[in-house]
A and B are shown apart, each in its own frame.
Chain A
Amino acid sequence: MSRRNPKYPGSFWEHFTQWRRGEYDPSQGKMEIKAPGKKPERGSWLPSALSQEMRDDYELGMKRRIGAFQRVYRVMALLLALTLTVLLLVTVSFLPAFGDVNAPENNEVARRYIEKGLEETGAVNIVAGMILDYRAFDTFGESCVLFIASCCVLILLKVDRDEDPHSQALEDMNDRHYEPNRDTVLQMAARLLVPVIIIFGIYVVLNGHLSPGGGFSGGAIIGSGLILYLTAFGFERTGRFMTEKLIKSLTLCALGFYCIAKSYSFYTGANHLDSFITPGVPGEILSAGLIVYLNICVGIVVACTMYSFYTLFRKGGY
């Protein structure tokens, strides 16, 4: 039997192992957790001990007060809109003219991006080179925003199948009622369109550094193709390959690869070290250093997020 470290009880590691085993909850006693109370019936908010007259008086007073408030509110909102319109239009009238070369926003920053962009990033599409090379961490944060948004929707809409089987069954029935599951026209159209849509999305993602498009638009196109497939063939068909585990691991792998690759690139760039990432020959598909791979990562994150939004909204699960 090994000797125990005297500092071990009550230490961070003990708590960590206990938390992993599920015996310890770090939020216990520190966070206020309120159990959801019983939902009152609609229309019975006031206690029955009050007489009917008191109730009517109360309702009437509320209505009068809310009506007065509504009138003042509407007038103030209209005034605000008028003031804002006039102010902003006056501001617009003093801005430089539309399409002016000498406007102050066309300064040396844009000139630098355009003149040195091809040499430094190797991307033919200047916007892709800008958002995935010079400002890559901005795009990384934005991919994380998407991931966090899908997590929030998961928290809000996830239903526990075991908790309330009756209402869940009823909801499933309604789901099928308003969406014909065996629609021949829809299925034929989906058979023709889904491969085309998904291949077009992959093309847009892979050509992000050569032509308009990139991870965001291509990912959204792939996601809408998957949504069309799901609408036509139902959850049984998509559930075979788009499982919760696959979506989560794909998203996390993409975000992790993005973070590590871009950290390496920034580290070597900032310290003037030799990097094996080269811009390559502009115009080829495997050029532009990391931009192709980062585009693929962003595309995966966006496609998974759009698909999981749809499934969570419709079913409350994957």
Chain B
Amino acid sequence: MPALRIILLFFLIVCAVAVSFSRRLLVSVSIYMAFSLVMAIVWLILESPDLAITEAAVGAGVTGILFFVMLKKIRSIHTNIMAENGADPQEQNAAVDRDMED
């Protein structure tokens, strides 16, 4: 099975590099969730099913959800600030998108 092992590990490294080079934060978080899911498969191959089930539930599930909620919260804080400064809605959305990018 060395071929499958090498492919999965290569995918892990590609994901890790893609996290740092993706422009939008939402994309980074999604890539990180894919990374965690592949990590669970790697642990199944390494004969540790306990780790696989924990990583699939915790790394790919809960951490991803928490990241998404954090991005949503930041967006809502941003919208509040914009509304207080009296900007119009379209300008608001553009500013949020700019902020969410790197």
A/B: CB atoms within 8 Å of each other = yes
Q: Are A224 and B72 in contact (CB under 8 A)?
A: no
Q: Which residues of B6-50 have CB atoms within 8 Å of chain A's CB atoms?
A: 49-50
Q: Are A220 and B61 in contact (CB under 8 A)?
A: yes
A178 at the interface (CB under 8 A from B): yes
Q: Tell me how far the C-beta of A83 lies from the nearest C-beta in chain B, rounded to whole angstroms.
A: 19
Query: Contacts A212-B50, A217-B58: A309 and B76 contacting too (C-beta < 8 A)?
Result: no
CA distance A27 to B69 in the complex (A): 36
Q: Are A213 and B50 in contact (CB under 8 A)?
A: yes
Q: Are B79 and A174 in contact (CB under 8 A)?
A: yes
Q: Tell me how far the C-beta of A41 lies from the nearest C-beta in chain B, rounded to whole angstroms.
A: 10
Question: Which residues of B sit under 8 angstroms from A167, Cβ to Cβ?
Answer: 80
CA distance A216 to B52 in the complex (A): 12
A202 at the interface (CB under 8 A from B): no
Main secondary structure of the interface of B (DSSP, over half): helix
Q: Are B53 and A224 in contact (CB under 8 A)?
A: no
B65 at the interface (CB under 8 A from A): yes
Q: Are B80 and A178 in contact (CB under 8 A)?
A: no
Q: Which residues of B64-83 have CB atoms within 8 Å of chain A's CB atoms?
A: 65-66, 69-70, 72-73, 75-77, 79-80, 83
Q: Quick one: closest B residue to A223, CB to CB?
A: B62
Q: Tell me how far the C-beta of B90 lies from the nearest C-beta in chain A, rounded to whole angstroms.
A: 15
Q: Are B50 and A309 in contact (CB under 8 A)?
A: no
Query: Contacts A174-B76, A220-B57: A306 and B50 contacting too (C-beta < 8 A)?
Result: no
Question: Which residues of B sit under 8 angstroms from A216, Cβ to Cβ?
Answer: 54, 58
Mark A212-244 against chain B: 1 for CB-CB distance below 8 A, else 0. 111011001101100100000000000000000
Question: Which residues of B sit under 8 angstroms from A212, Cβ to Cβ?
Answer: 49-50, 52-53
Spell out B's residues near A (CB within 8 Å). 49-50, 52-54, 56-58, 61-62, 65-66, 69-70, 72-73, 75-77, 79-80, 83
